[in-house]
Amino acid sequence: MNLLEIRNISKYFGGILAVDNFSMKVKENQLIGIIGPNGAGKTTIFNLISGITKTTSGKKFFKGKEITFLKPSQISKLGIARTFQNLRLFRGLDVISNVEIAYTYRMRYNFFQALFWPPIVLSENKKSRNLAKESLNLVKVPTKYYHEKPTNLPYGLQKRVDLARALSLLPQVLLLDEPAAGLNPYEVIELIDIIRLIQKEYQRQNLSIILVEHRMEMIMKLCEEIYVLNFGKTIAKGSPEHIQSDKNVLSAYLGGEY
């Protein structure tokens, strides 16, 4: 069974067709890449999958159930987590609380218990803190930053906090929106290792990762299947070797005459 299936989704912004008939099937334990020039509709696809933007037409399925009309919070609770291209960390919360946020919906205490702090609140809080520490540890954020505000961290680390936050949701599908944007070459190599590590750690949960990226080298190294977009259209799809020799892809990236 497909973990996630996107069936012919389209999105119009006013009169502009941002995503045209995009389809995608994601199986368990896959690493899929989406590439394309600026404005190709990559991030829009993520917004459509996570429910932040409403689809104009088409359907989405998660584990065989339709999720087309669900709210972003419901979709993320089902197990589709995402990171953001332009960091959207919570500035008022420290790093570890930022990561804990994604776990709060699993914490089993209600409003009145939150007012009086019976033992269950303490044990649940402890559980969420431990999970947050695990996630932060996995993406290699040093312990000394746990109680800093995220804006005080270097950019590369902030991106990893964002990644840890998505992991705390205990997802089945992880959407990474340009995780390497703004990182220096050394940090990119580190990031590739981290993504591989995540994939290994979460193999038991059958985690699949979808990666939107500009950097060819990263996509080529990591992904087993690649979708290439241009002006909202899927112009090619297949293994890295296949993509590298595809005529349409070369012309979209390098210009018509090649």
Partner 1 sequence: MSFYQGLIILVVINVIAVIGTFLLTGMTGLLSFGQASFMALGAYISGMLAVKFNIPFLLAILMAIIASVFVGFIIALPVVKLRRDYFALTTFAFGEFLKAVLNQSVAITGGATGLAGIPFKVNIWIVLISLIIVILLVRNFRNSKFGKECLAIRDDELAARSCGIDSSRKKMTVFLFSVAVTSFAGCLYGFYTCYIDPSMFGWTKSSELVIMVFFGGLNSLTGVIIGTTFLTLSLEILRFTGAWRMFVYVLIMIILIDFRPQGVFGNWELDGRTFEKFLHIPSSIIFKKEK
Where does this chain bind partner 1 (CB under 8 A)? 50-52, 71-77, 81-82, 84, 88-93, 97, 100-102, 104-105, 107, 109, 111, 114-117, 121-122, 124-126, 128-129, 147, 165, 169
Tokens of 153: 């961290």
Nearer to partner 1, 166 or 229 (CB): 166
For residue 43, give the nearest of 229, 188, 173, 242 by alpha carbon: 229
> Least separation, in Å, of the C-beta of 61 and partner 1?
19
Q: How far is the CB of 192 from partner 1 (least distance, A)?
A: 24
> At its nearest, how many Å lie between partner 1 and the CB of residue 97?
5
Q: Min. distance of Cβ 42 from partner 1 in angstroms?
A: 17
Between 71 and 242, CB nearer to partner 1: 71
| CA contacts within 13 A on the Cβ side of 121 | 9
Structure tokens, 51: 């429910």
Rounded to a whole number of angstroms, the minimum distance from the CB of residue 114 to partner 1 is: 4
Query: What's the sign of the alpha-carbon dihedral 154, 159, 165, 168?
Result: negative
Measured from the CB atom, is 97 or 208 closer to partner 1?
97
User: Closer CB to partner 1, residue 83 or residue 230?
Assistant: 83
- Max Cα distance, the chain (Å): 70
Q: Which is nearer to partner 1, 38 or 110 (CB)?
A: 110
Judged by beta carbon, residue 91 or residue 200, the one nearer partner 1 is: 91
b vs e for 156-182, b when ≥16 Cβ sit within 10 Å of the residue's Cβ? bbbbbbbbbbbbbbbbbbbbbbbbbbe
Least spacing, CB of residue 149 vs partner 1, in Å: 8
Q: Within 13 Å, how many C-alpha atoms sit on residue 148's CB side?
A: 13
Is the separation of the CB atoms in 144 and 94 below 8 Å?
no
Q: Give the start-end residues of each E strand in 118-167.
A: none
Cβ(19)–Cβ(227) below 8 Å: no
